[in-house]
């Protein structure tokens, strides 16, 4: 039985939302939020009291919108919680041979770079993913030099004679590269 992502039952594509918390400056200026968490998969959008939409709704009725996602993370979610809830299982699936694509999307200053890269003290999903990948494959490294890639997806195991031939070819190419580099360096 293969492990499946907790997000997978909804289909092949999961859309996760992370609500960015207000900055200290935004809080000091008294900005009002327009996104509220309904549950772990839904948010409600309501225009701030100071917006034109809010003034119009007094006469035309309330304009509340509800949006549903695979998973919603509130402003208090940590980088680790976000990684655990969105990336850990897809990375494990990738290590088992499944294809995965992750991308961030949002307006400028929405927190994409912070979520993806993080800071030195609180790394994002990319460094956490790389850490998980390298820790997992660390014990699986193939240290012999007897494999040769063919095409883009396959490889063949080389005999000892083929390894010698490949090594000789590599060394002659390296020598040639050095000679050409030396030639152009002397021409200057």
User: How far is 131 from 125, CA to CA, in rounded Å?
Assistant: 10
CA angle, 15 then 133 then 13, to 5°: 15
Question: pLDDT for 108-150, tens place per residue?
Answer: 988 999 999 999 999 999 999 999 999 988 877 777 878 777 7
Cα–Cα distance for residue pair 5/27, rounded to 1 Å = 36
**Domains of the chain, residue spans:** 8-140, 147-187
Residue 45 CB contacts under 8 Å (≥ 6 apart), including other chains: 34, 35, 64, 65, 66, 67
pLDDT at 56: 64
pLDDT on residue 53: 64
Pick one of 1.10.287.130, 3.20.20.70, 3.40.850.10, 3.40.50.300 as the CATH number of 8-140: 3.40.850.10
- Given a contact cutoff of 8 angstroms between Cβ atoms, the answer to whether 128 and 120 are in contact is no
The predicted-structure confidence for 14-42, as pLDDT tens digits, reads as follows 999 999 988 889 888 888 788 889 999 99
* Bridge pairing between strands 16-18 and 71-73: parallel
- Is residue 58 annotated as involved in ligand binding? no
Q: Does the annotation flag 106 for ligand binding?
A: yes
109 is in an annotated binding site: yes
pTM of this prediction exceeds 0.85:
no
Short-list 69, 94, 72, 71, CA closest to 3: 94
Q: How confident is the model at residue 86 (pLDDT cuts 50, 70, 90)?
A: very high
Which pLDDT score, from 0 to 100, does residue 181 have?
76
Residue 112 annotated as binding site: yes
Is the pLDDT at 13 greater than 80? The verdict is yes
Please indicate if the annotation marks 107 as binding a ligand: yes
Lowest mean pLDDT among 11-20, 79-88, 178-187: 178-187
Whether residue 113 is annotated as binding a ligand: the answer is yes
Instruction: List the end-to-end C-alpha distance of the chain, in Å, as a whole number.
Output: 64
Q: What's the pLDDT score for residue 124?
A: 95
């Amino acid at each position: 039985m293969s492990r499946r992502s907790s997000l997978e039952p909804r289909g092949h594509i999961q859309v996760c939302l992370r609500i960015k918390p207000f900055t200290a400056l935004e809080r000091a200026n008294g900005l009002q939020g327009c996104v509220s968490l309904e549950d772990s998969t839904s948010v409600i959008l309501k225009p701030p009291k100071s917006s034109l939409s809010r003034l119009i709704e007094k006469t035309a009725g309330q304009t509340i919108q509800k949006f549903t996602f695979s998973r919603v993370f509130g402003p208090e979610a940590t980088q680790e919680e976000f990684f655990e809830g969105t990336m850990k299982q897809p990375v494990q699936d990738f290590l088992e041979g499944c294809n995965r694509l992750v991308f961030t999307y949002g307006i400028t200053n929405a927190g994409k770079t912070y979520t993806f890269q993080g800071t030195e003290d609180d790394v994002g999903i990319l460094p956490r993913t790389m850490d998980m990948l390298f820790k997992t494959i660390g014990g699986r490294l193939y240290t012999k030099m007897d494999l040769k890639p063919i095409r883009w997806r396959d490889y063949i195991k080389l005999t000892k004679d083929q390894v010698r031939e490949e090594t000789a070819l590599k060394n002659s190419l390296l020598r040639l590269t050095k000679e050409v580099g030396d030639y152009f360096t002397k021409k200057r």
